Structure 1
């Protein structure tokens, strides 16, 4: 069976290069129960016994007869798609991070189903890991992470549920109109939606172009106005990967006390950590960064194939701003950009994404992004997680860290996802731009410690003031 490739998903395929890969992944960490030496081997054998279901059995066909489409394939190599590795004795957690970075680097083979996973034994602390990657054209972060959780068990009993690649898709809603009439109706509806979307986007773009020409300070969502930061160095294949976890409820509390969301706080500490890292490595950047923040357009229960996402482009804090002031600046920028995106219809927001991907891909392919403005300096994304503890063959999931894509000369992606009582961050970096991404993650952790200390001092001062004036 063939399936047409939607424009946004086609963009992920067309813009991909060996240095700018467009697959997304995750690192799952599990704690092994005592006395289960064969636990990982059991999972490997069980996974290899399953067969991929749509969209995990799709192969893209971009040239030849007809429009670009996905073709379902029956054949697959279970040993290629489900691999079993083990770290050498005395390995460190950093060795695991380096291995995941190496596995994340190469493009997926487009002549095979576009996913792979590795079960990695021997992780320090009596743990094992699963690293998995899937092409962005068949799944986005929200639906991908949801499937990973669905492939785990809520019980600590030694059971092995079907993995994400074997779960398939829900049945579509039944159609009552005749096929010919349905096609005509869909074509008319799609054409009207596209015209309305283009009108909405064009008006916004025209206002910003006029403001920029007049030298005004631009606000709202700001694609293609960023300066060339060190993170915009030409992409190479080499990747760096780091992780970080922070207490979830504490993050919410700090955010509330500053009138900020959890996403605002995450963006501010990443911004502060990045400026600090660049100063310490002799690459100080004297302007505000512009971050792309993806926004899911999926309704609750939407698990359709492909990508349903738009984005806002947020101006972050001043380079030398202290954490509290930086967070205030980020809150203002995010609110303004969200208001602008919220004024667009869903069709316009999707069209906006397609246009951005096309422009960014064209700029990267022709190298015009090296002389013009890049789309942004970095990507910061939050993918919804789970609150309940999950297990695999009796092993407890203790962390799940996104491992995201780098493309279009954007050399840093920080994606976070909540699990139980903590927020797990995954840092993916272009090694030509950031040679020590573990150090960057540590600077981000220190930025969080700074805003936490500032918040405590402010709260204590407010309490003292109330007690002396009460």
Structure 2
């Protein structure tokens, strides 16, 4: 990443607030090597603090003019007591307690007078495991960029020699082919005209959908349904994590003639519906998800942010999980078709436009009074396929914890690592005290999807038996209209038709 900041990167700084910080993070679980000393984590923490000279962008402080970010200024030496911190807990393997600490660390924003990242080591005095909560400001890069750095900082074999943490690692820069001035101007002008035409095409198709001339297109912005998870984003977070076997996901995608993303979308949709139903929420409309789209060309290694975020309509009106999956497949592919028909820059600017409206509502504290852009943000980032190590410690799992979008909702992000989908879930804590039931619902929903292809009698209302009542939301008196559902026999008849 250069010292210059792109317009999209700048938006993450401009729109940040203490209520809604714009950093992304990961919760990493690691295992110490055999025979590790009792103070292994403390020694590791002290060792990495010695790397007080960082590479770009980890050494960059944002320079502002009248509050507007202009560029990154490199620091020669970092305050490592701030950037690398050590915490002690009673039991690192107590996942729920670890989630509480992670949520507490995630809700505070990064010091804007320092480079925008932190590493928090978390240990206990009785386990062979420890954790790292690492957070980086979103203006440094999108998910694809950060995962690429993550892979470079973790090795495919344990080592005690030549270890360098990710912020101090050298990242070779690709040389860009320089074009002549005239050719560059001509290509830029042509690209600008084509992007404007693509933007006009997008809005024309949205207008045709709005007026029912041609309803088959991606969703109208701000079509989301209000729930206890949406509304004004406020300080305070609640976090949970869960693992899904990615080999099973790929196997199911082949059987169901669906992509892995569509299997995950359906599982998450069923899980969120079940979570909301615990609190009296049933809907006469589908929920919507914000879906990030990577706009990089194949093989492109640029830093910063190069993404678009577009809404996708999820499933509704069917209690049969297989039929819900077919709905999601159709809706997902409509959006993918729209993305392929437009230039990446057009989709990026479209994202900026609709997100800007959401940010205006958020800054004016009106998000509780308008429909959200979507109810869920779901993103999937491919990670390393083989086992990785931080020095000589084995990385067991890595759960991404993302930022909140304007209008709230729940943010679900996953990394595929060593054959497992590590899923991180985060939302505001203003109406919920735990997301642990939601994690269990995701697992149950996926297992039901696996079985439903051979068993058409399965019903999404049957999930949730593993959840304890004391994990439910603190909001339990909100009742929405109950949607109609048919009995299992009628449902099977409809499947056969």
Q: TM-score, normalised by structure 1?
A: 0.89
The 1:427–1:65 alpha-carbon spacing in structure 2 relative to 1, beyond 3 Å, is closer
- Which residue, out of 421, 424, 427, partners 1:426? 424
Task: Give 1:162's aligned residue.
Answer: 164
Task: Give 1:105's aligned residue.
Answer: 107
Higher relative contact order (CA 8 A, sep 6+): 1
Q: Distance in 2 between matches of 1:381 and 1:426?
A: 10
- 1:79 CA displacement: 1.1
Q: Distance in 1 between matches of 2:99 and 2:126?
A: 12
Q: Distance in 1 between matches of 2:8 and 2:382?
A: 21
Unaligned runs of 5+ in 2: 457-497
SS at match of 2:400: strand
CA distances 1:132-156 after superposition (whole Å, capped 9, x unpaired): 0111111111111221121112113
- 1:19 CA displacement: 1.8
SS at match of 1:26: strand
Task: Give 1:137's aligned residue.
Answer: 139
SS at match of 1:231: coil
Cα pair 2:58 2:116 within 8 Å, conserved: yes
Cα pair 1:401 1:416 within 8 Å, conserved: yes
SS at match of 2:453: helix
- 1:165 CA displacement: 1.6
Task: Give 1:219's aligned residue.
Answer: 217
Cα pair 1:169 1:303 within 8 Å, conserved: no
Task: Give 1:377's aligned residue.
Answer: 375
Cα pair 1:15 1:362 within 8 Å, conserved: no
1:87-106 correspondence to structure 2 within 5 Å? 87-88=89-90, 92-106=94-108
Q: Distance in 2 between matches of 1:160 and 1:416?
A: 30
Q: Distance in 2 between matches of 1:276 and 1:42?
A: 45
Task: Give 1:461's aligned residue.
Answer: none
Q: Distance in 2 between matches of 1:159 and 1:384?
A: 28
Task: Give 1:127's aligned residue.
Answer: 129
- 1:188 CA displacement: 5.6
Larger CA deviation: 163-172 vs 108-117 = 163-172
SS at match of 1:18: coil
CA distances 1:47-84 after superposition (whole Å, capped 9, x unpaired): 21222211112222332499722222334210110111
SS at match of 1:414: strand
Task: Give 2:119's aligned residue.
Answer: 117
- Which residue, out of 320, 323, 347, partners 1:322? 320
Cα pair 1:56 1:165 within 8 Å, conserved: yes
CA distances 1:265-289 after superposition (whole Å, capped 9, x unpaired): 1111111011111111223343211
Q: Distance in 2 between matches of 1:126 and 1:173?
A: 44
CA distances 1:13-69 after superposition (whole Å, capped 9, x unpaired): 122222222111111111223320243233212321222211112222332499722
- 1:417 CA displacement: 1.1
SS at match of 1:128: strand
1:451-470 correspondence to structure 2 within 5 Å? 451-457=449-455
Unaligned runs of 5+ in 1: 459-470
Task: Give 1:409's aligned residue.
Answer: 407
SS at match of 1:4: coil
Q: Distance in 1 between matches of 2:299 and 2:169?
A: 15
Cα pair 1:142 1:383 within 8 Å, conserved: yes
Task: Give 1:290's aligned residue.
Answer: 288
Cα pair 2:289 2:376 within 8 Å, conserved: yes
The 1:175–1:380 alpha-carbon spacing in structure 2 relative to 1, beyond 3 Å, is closer
Q: Distance in 1 between matches of 2:127 and 2:300?
A: 37
User: Are 1:439 and 2:440 matched, yes or no?
Assistant: no
The 1:130–1:301 alpha-carbon spacing in structure 2 relative to 1, beyond 3 Å, is farther
Task: Give 2:363's aligned residue.
Answer: 365
Cα pair 1:96 1:123 within 8 Å, conserved: no
SS at match of 1:263: helix
CA distances 1:69-101 after superposition (whole Å, capped 9, x unpaired): 222233421011011112125872211111111
Cα pair 2:103 2:238 within 8 Å, conserved: yes
1:328-367 correspondence to structure 2 within 5 Å? 328-367=326-365
Larger CA deviation: 330-339 vs 316-325 = 316-325
User: Are 1:85 and 2:87 matched, yes or no?
Assistant: yes
Q: Distance in 2 between matches of 1:343 and 1:362?
A: 29
Larger CA deviation: 89-98 vs 74-83 = 89-98
The 1:65–1:455 alpha-carbon spacing in structure 2 relative to 1, beyond 3 Å, is closer
Larger CA deviation: 403-412 vs 67-76 = 67-76
Q: Distance in 2 between matches of 1:3 and 1:271?
A: 40
1:36-47 correspondence to structure 2 within 5 Å? 36-37=36-37, 38-47=39-48
SS at match of 1:442: helix
- 1:108 CA displacement: 1.2
SS at match of 1:137: helix
The 1:434–1:263 alpha-carbon spacing in structure 2 relative to 1, beyond 3 Å, is farther
